[in-house]
Structure 1
Amino acid sequence: MEIRLIKAFQTIVKLGSFQRAAEALQYSQPTITIQIKKLEDELGVRLFERGKTITLTNAGRLFLERADSLLQEYDVLNSTLSDFINGDAGTVRLGATEPSASNRLPGILARYAALKPKVQINVAIGSTREMTRMLLEDQIDFALCNQPEPHIDLAFDSLFRETFTLLLPSGHALASKDEIQLQDLKNEKMLFTPGTCPFRIRIEEMITSQIGQLRHAGMEVTGINAIKYFVQAGMGIALSPEVAVTPPIPGTVIKSVKDLLSGPPLGLLYKRNTDAQSRIAIDLKDEIKRQLVVES
């Protein structure tokens, strides 16, 4: 059923004649008559009783009750599709790893949402490995995460490397030390994330090259943002991405380590075939990239 036929019907009812409807819609009267005949043929009912005056049949009155709603829904659909094409509406499925999901994304997405209020953003949080799987299974459009293992179907745009810092309980002996080096951590009980975490891998690389074997076995905590609370409780010290522990929570102190190396790369992970991405997904990806590069 064509929208123009419904509009022709609605205009005839509103103006009371085929002639006035034709003038309002800038058609000839025969064209309006043909349109109504086509509409009646599609519906299989007569909509008007023709005579000296135009009156609606029972079917015509029933159809009129729905015509306004149909046209309103069409206008909404038209507007929504227009917004989607222009990148002003739709849904973006974004993946993110910690600490970026908690410490970087909220501010970026708040600014973006203020500019694009019709865009719905769904955020999935997990590990880099989970982000890779979700992309390959088409569960997310792109991800903000650390660099994964190379994959033929995925591209990774590195933005910067994470900066590590040392987090201590406020009463710890190293808290008052002016200069700290990795060797100073040799006898300390360290708090680590799981072995597959990019931060854990990078920290162990530094420890192996500068310290060798730690004398005290470390405690493993799943979740980089949770480690600061274990430090606060005096259960150990931690090398952590600076963004995850800044500002420090009460009872903890942040200290720089002179010979500390940079952390793993952080960037945007997405499918190489970007033709399948929506305009809003591409726009949001570019906005995250722009803001993170400026902030770094």
Structure 2
Amino acid sequence: MVETDQLLAFERIVREGSFSKAAFALGISQPTISARIQALEKSLGGAVFTRGRTVHLTERGTSFLPYARRALAVLNDGLNAAKLAASGEQGALRVAALRSLTVHLLARSSGVFMERFPEVQCTLFEGDHWLVIEQLHDGVVELGLICYPPLDYGVAEVRPLLRMIEPIILAVHPSHPLSQKRVWSREDFLQSCPLLLQQRWWQVTPMAVNTLNTQARKVADVPMEVGKHLVHTGLAAGFFPKMLIQPELDAGVLVPLEIQGFPSMLRETALVQLARRQHTSPIAQHFAGILAQVARSLDITVVREKQEEPG
């Protein structure tokens, strides 16, 4: 029979990458954690880790990991429900977010939340779209911050607590040749832009941007952080969600541009939970309220889905 202590030991070793670090994090001895894994492996009928200078999951361990995490998450939900969770002042907040939403939205919102609800245990993750969806399905997190609607099978499996809409800005550094004026004809823009960025933060790149890329003198396909660096150094022009560059725009470090006849573009994101969840926890409702306030302070349009207010 698999016991909770065995699951905790297994998940912690995966997270820490070693038996010794996991034992230290759990406050137990290395022989104890080794014994728990041996008992788990006996129940599962084989090894879950390969032992050596580094620890790696076996195929058996890899297949078992999401179920172990789901079991721990369900148990944790039950414990939270038994600890005055009805008030939303105790329990756990578990959120995963896209990297592009971490610094401005997740960091600010979680900071306010931690100050307001100091007794709530907060666990935050960041990753790409698929990781956030996976963590929702595995029960690792209750809430996810993703682009919305998700253009994959997951659209019917999540529901938004609130949606956020912001404009997309074309920006350059003041030292860039395009900074000489704010509005450009399409022909002059393409002629004066030595490098245009194709960044990977889009869920689906808009047709207008794809067409512009095909006409540009040179295009670089880069991650968002690399793109921001290239724009900051004056080497390139790029499209960004306004929230990500608002401080630089306010400080004059970046300059917004317009291309005549180019369509306005918006990015929609959402705080979501699994659709199969029958209720939204009071803690999640409190966090959604704080997130909405932070988003509005960043001039993001917020559409709050109707939810029961926490008691």
**Contact in 1 for aligned 2:162/2:292 (Cα 8 Å):** no
| Counterparts of 1:292 and 1:251, CA distance in 2 | 22
Write the letter of the residue equivalent to 2:227.
I
4+ residue segments displaced more than 6 Å: none
Q: Give secondary structure in 2 for the equivalent of 1:261.
A: coil
| Counterparts of 1:231 and 1:215, CA distance in 2 | 16
Structure 1 counterpart of 2:169:
165
| Counterparts of 2:112 and 2:161, CA distance in 1 | 22
**Contact in 2 for aligned 1:165/1:254 (Cα 8 Å):** no
User: Which of these residues, 185, 193, 197, is aligned with residue 199 of structure 2?
Assistant: 193
Deviation of 1:123 after TM superposition, in Å, equals 1.2
| Counterparts of 2:125 and 2:104, CA distance in 1 | 15
| Counterparts of 1:268 and 1:278, CA distance in 2 | 14
Write the letter of the residue equivalent to 1:230.
L
Write the letter of the residue equivalent to 1:125.
E
Deviations 1:58-101 (A, max 9, x none): xxxxxxxxxxxxxxxxxxxx999544332111221101113321
Deviation of 1:154 after TM superposition, in Å, equals 1.6
Structure 1 counterpart of 2:207:
205
Name the structure where strand makes up a greater proportion of residues: 2
| Counterparts of 2:114 and 2:188, CA distance in 1 | 46
Aligned residues between the structures: 213
Q: Give secondary structure in 2 for the equivalent of 1:248.
A: helix
Q: Where do residues 178-257 of structure 1 align in structure 2 (5 Å cutoff)?
A: 178-187=182-191, 188=193, 189-194=195-200, 197-198=201-202, 201-202=204-205, 204-208=206-210, 211=212, 213-222=214-223, 224-248=224-248, 252-257=253-258
Q: Give secondary structure in 2 for the equivalent of 1:170.
A: coil
1:103 matched to 2:107: no
Structure 2 counterpart of 1:138:
139
Instruction: Give the % identical residues.
Output: 14
| Counterparts of 1:208 and 1:100, CA distance in 2 | 23
Unaligned runs of 5+ in 2: 1-78, 301-311
| Counterparts of 2:221 and 2:106, CA distance in 1 | 26
Deviation of 1:175 after TM superposition, in Å, equals 0.5
Deviation of 1:126 after TM superposition, in Å, equals 1.3
**Contact in 1 for aligned 2:196/2:216 (Cα 8 Å):** no
Unaligned runs of 5+ in 1: 1-77
| Counterparts of 1:170 and 1:142, CA distance in 2 | 39
| Counterparts of 2:263 and 2:247, CA distance in 1 | 20
| Counterparts of 1:144 and 1:104, CA distance in 2 | 9
**Contact in 2 for aligned 1:99/1:243 (Cα 8 Å):** no
RMSD, matched Cα:
3.1
Q: Where do residues 1-296 of structure 1 align in structure 2 (5 Å cutoff)?
A: 81-147=82-148, 148-149=150-151, 151=154, 152-157=156-161, 159-187=163-191, 188=193, 189-194=195-200, 197-198=201-202, 201-202=204-205, 204-208=206-210, 211=212, 213-222=214-223, 224-248=224-248, 252-257=253-258, 259-275=262-278, 278-293=281-296, 295-296=299-300
- Normalised to the residue count of structure 1, the TM-score between the two structures is 0.62
